[in-house]
Amino acid sequence: MRSDIRTLAATALILTLGAGAASLAKPKIITLPPETAALKETSEPGFELTANTCTVCHSVDYIAMQPRGQGKDFWTGEVTKMVNVYGATVQDAERPAIVDYLTHNY
């Protein structure tokens, strides 16, 4: 009797875990809203870097909504925060060009 209860409990657990794993395996489709802003296109090296690194994680709206004319210290802090806090994959050598682009254009 005790063995039957254990077998029944183990079977219930396996079925429950299996159902949970199956629901985790279903792909989720997320539809993002359309962009409402675009990076200001320039010939600065930071334009391409910003387009290829920053917008991988967030929309251009996030850049465009920052307070205007805050200067180099502000953008240095923002880029540093994105790397150190949020894990942005910006190489150390790329940071100055991105900061300069953002400083000049935002």
The predicted-structure confidence for 92-102, as pLDDT tens digits, reads as follows 999 999 999 99
Ordered domains of the chain (ranges, CATH): 45-105 (1.10.760.10)
Whether 97 and 49 have beta carbons less than 8 Å apart is answered as: yes
Q: What is the chain's length?
A: 106
**How many Cα neighbours within 13 Å face the side chain of 106?**
26
pLDDT digits (tens, 9 = 90+) for 9-61: 666 666 666 655 556 678 888 887 888 889 999 999 999 999 999 998 899 99
Q: Apex CA 79: angle with CA 77 and CA 80, to 5°?
A: 60
Distance CA 15, CA 12 (A): 5
